[in-house]
Structure 1
Amino acid sequence: MGSVRAPEGSAGGGGPVRLSRNRDYNILWTGQLFSELGSEITFVSFPLLILAMSGSPLDMGLVSSVLATAHMVANVPAGVVADRWDRKKVMLLCHGARALAMGSVAVALLMGVYSFPHILLVAAVEGFLSSVFQPAEQAALPQVVPESQLPLAIARNTARPFIATLLGPALAGFLFALHHTAPFGADAIMLAASFVTLLFLRLPRQAATAGSPRARVTGSGVAEGFRWVAGHRVIRMTLVWMGLSNLVFGALVIIVLAMTGEGVSPGEVGLTMACIGAGGLLGALSAARLHAALPPFLFIVGFPLVAAVMTALMAVVPSGILLGVLLGGAAFLAPVANTTVLTYQLTVTPDHLRGRLSGIAGLFSGGAAALGPMVGGLLMTAGGSTAVLVCAAGLALVAAGTVLSPTLRRFPAP
């Protein structure tokens, strides 16, 4: 097996180059942004298309379920793929296939052909391959960014989902209003452009490459990843923390959406939901400075604690934009806490296991995010004020558990 080259961001003579001048980091960042933006556009465009073509709520629900299920199913095996295969080729395959799938929808609609089974198939491809792309991109990050710059790189990466959340739904609605084919064509073009950009990505050789005996033996890959996570106390506890936080926050978003939708204009509903993206984006932009100035434990306990206070206030404010402002405030520390956790995870995880760690983390957070809306819907049967107070109590319990856990209380700085 060949030696593993230092990250491209490590300058040969002096210190590391600035992230803004690290071409490979910028290619990775842009590729994942297009992936997430495409997912947001697709998530909105498919229901709009079905509504226009058949108006079937059952079809809308089925497509959304296929997207979510394919995304969940892919998480863990995607981590093995990211560790066993060439990560650049994995990312190229994902974006190339997704571009072709979305392009097929645009072409079919231009030809006046609409087929629901075709939409289901494309939804499955989109959900599966978008999930496969993420562990490969995340595992490749320490290959192109020096360890000293990982906190800053991860902080910038945490801004991407919030940018996609802010732009994606509005862009999908605007493009769909122009023409039914427009959002799918735009998605295909973005993914194709990202595919071309990724061709110029330079990744150092992985610790386990396609030519090594270890890479060819994939049967025990998933079990190996779970064994490593189970044997690492800090990472094990952070996965539990992530899962519980996402579960409660996912329920809270649905509750706020339901409360806002009662007697409020659609425009105000959209503005209220945009506050999540705004709050998270502001937090992501502040993450690097806060991460450098304060101990990591403060962010791990601070996010659920601040979110609990903001959530409790939602029980006494009127429906509408004020709920969104409080929700944005609750989301502010989420990217800061995520930066803390992800920096530690990527720093201590061996290169040949980073993809599997990302897949397992996606399973925990994705599963919790999928259950959250169901929990929120059940809680709403007791009334909006009661539901948000239950969520506030849940977030307070997460904060209390963080303080009481010796492992999280002594969370190490990377």
Structure 2
Amino acid sequence: MNKFYYLYISQLFSVVGDGFFRISLIFLTLNNGGVKLLAQVFAIQAVIIAITVLFSGILNKYLMPKSIVIISSILRATTCIYMILLISLDLHSNYLYFIIGIIFGMSDSLYRPNYVSILKFNVTLHKYDKQVGLLTSSRQLLNILTPMLAAFVYDSFNNFILLIISTILFLLSAFFSVYLKDFSGQKISISKNILKEMIYEIKKGFIYIFNNNWLKIGMLISILVIPFQQALSNVVVPVFATTLNNNAISYSSILTSYAIGAMLAGLLFGKIGKFVNSIIKAFLVILIAYLVYSFSGLVHSIVTASAISFIVGGLIQIYNISWEKFTIQYVKEEYIGNISSVSWFIFSSFSPIMIALVGYLIDILNVRMVIVIIPLIICVSILIITITFYKKLTLGDLQDEKN
């Protein structure tokens, strides 16, 4: 079987497992400690990612990216088992919930920087738009079904069942990852100076980013966008959903609409992608996405909120696929792990700050004001950055820097 399809199956198991797990964690923390505990757990997760992600991408110099992704899936399954124990033993200490953030943060930090490498080795470049479009649209189709199914299981049964299903799915994802194609070059042997060598590799990542204008400027945009996206999915949307209808179905409706938009964008990317053929246009897409999202704070209907979520999901998906495509095309293979680690370290460092800030603002103001104000600030910032560095953001620059 083509290696892409092993990646495809592994990803789909991972997506459903992750969806079940996150809904379980969100409602478990909300029910036991409210918004404060929810924000604290995800802030801890973000801190762990910021600390460990810098080294996790560099690990692929010593271990195969495939092995790291498998370890990540096993860690996710371990997190689910730990939560099952908390529920079974009826334990409610906040510190025990913080451990969830630590383990899950470690698994995320292992997965994220190495995913691009895995994608590069298992997707044919001349079929990139078609294969990645299929992967992302299928992933988003499951994102449509998963929240609804997870909400049904949560309302009909309990968190225990959700977590058992998540555990099985993460283990299946790890199993199919075993068959993925991996880096064909020679790995660096592990020596006594491994820490010194890893620091050297990290330094190479910083230098590569600094010497490439589009990566450097993209980093500024990511510092704004990704931390808020983390706060948005983990804190803002669950709390906002309770203002519309206080149950899991309301939350899942917003997620489902987002996923439908993202799925359609993935399916149509083969046609849409040719219009997003520059970094500037990609930045314009993400700017429009956040501008549209700011209107969510003004609506009081689940239908309208879901419609906005649908549009935002499509726009963000177009941006994500475009950025991955630029990275695969214009970053040298041996540097992908380096820059992925450095990139995730830089903007993951801001995630716990944003999550804590959002949680605080929701407490002292309200979730609707947060939804309006922060996206508008991000839009203005993206616009200023793009205008300031306009001349350096062209595909011609990318071509030159690639060589």
Q: TM-score, normalised by structure 1?
A: 0.77
Task: Point out where structure 1 has 5 or more consecutive residues left out of the alignment.
Answer: 1-21
SS in 2 for 1:262: helix
Whether the 8 Å contact between 2:62 and 2:189 is mirrored in structure 1 is no
Q: 1:125 aligns with which of 98, 103, 109?
A: 103
Distance (whole Å) between structure 1 residues aligned to residue 334 and residue 38 of structure 2: 39
Distance 1:225 1:105, change over 3 A: same
Distance 1:31 1:408, change over 3 A: farther
- The alpha carbon displacement at 1:128 in A equals 0.5
For residues 275-314 of structure 1, the aligned pairs below 5 Å read 275-293=257-275, 295-297=277-279, 299-307=281-289, 309-311=291-293, 313-314=295-296
Instruction: Please name the residue that 2:208 is paired with.
Output: 228
Letter in 2 for 1:280: A
For residues 24-173 of structure 1, the aligned pairs below 5 Å read 24-49=3-28, 55-57=32-34, 62-103=40-81, 105-106=83-84, 114=91, 120-159=98-137, 162-163=140-141, 165-173=143-151
Residue 184 of structure 2 corresponds to residue 205 of structure 1: yes
Q: 2:243 aligns with which of 262, 279, 290?
A: 262
State the identity %: 13
Letter in 1 for 2:271: R
Distance (whole Å) between structure 2 residues aligned to residue 296 and residue 276 of structure 1: 25
Deviations 1:152-188 (A, max 9, x none): 4444454476456544444444444424432222122
Whether the 8 Å contact between 2:286 and 2:319 is mirrored in structure 1 is no
Letter in 1 for 2:176: T
Residue 342 of structure 2 corresponds to residue 360 of structure 1: yes
- The alpha carbon displacement at 1:74 in A equals 2.5
Distance 1:157 1:401, change over 3 A: farther
Distance (whole Å) between structure 2 residues aligned to residue 215 and residue 288 of structure 1: 46
SS in 2 for 1:181: helix
Instruction: Please name the residue that 1:381 is paired with.
Output: 365
Deviations 1:129-149 (A, max 9, x none): 232023223212222323323
Distance (whole Å) between structure 1 residues aligned to residue 86 and residue 367 of structure 2: 45
Instruction: Please name the residue that 2:394 is paired with.
Output: 410
Q: 1:333 aligns with which of 310, 315, 319?
A: 315
Instruction: Please name the residue that 1:13 is paired with.
Output: none
Distance 1:36 1:127, change over 3 A: farther
Instruction: Please name the residue that 1:178 is paired with.
Output: 157
Distance 1:148 1:319, change over 3 A: same
Q: TM-score, normalised by structure 2?
A: 0.78
Deviations 1:231-259 (A, max 9, x none): 22121112222332335666777667666
- The alpha carbon displacement at 1:269 in A equals 4.8
SS in 1 for 2:243: coil
- The alpha carbon displacement at 1:69 in A equals 2.8
Letter in 2 for 1:34: F
Letter in 1 for 2:288: V
Distance (whole Å) between structure 2 residues aligned to residue 51 and residue 333 of structure 1: 29
Q: 1:398 aligns with which of 379, 382, 388?
A: 382
Q: Greater share of helix residues, 1 or 2? A: 2
Letter in 1 for 2:394: R
Residue 330 of structure 2 corresponds to residue 348 of structure 1: yes
Distance (whole Å) between structure 1 residues aligned to residue 100 and residue 182 of structure 2: 30
Task: Point out where structure 2 has 5 or more consecutive residues left out of the alignment.
Answer: none
Whether the 8 Å contact between 1:155 and 1:335 is mirrored in structure 2 is no
- The alpha carbon displacement at 1:23 in A equals 2.4
Whether the 8 Å contact between 1:24 and 1:201 is mirrored in structure 2 is yes
Letter in 1 for 2:121: Q
Deviations 1:371-412 (A, max 9, x none): 445555638838946962663353144135324423564235
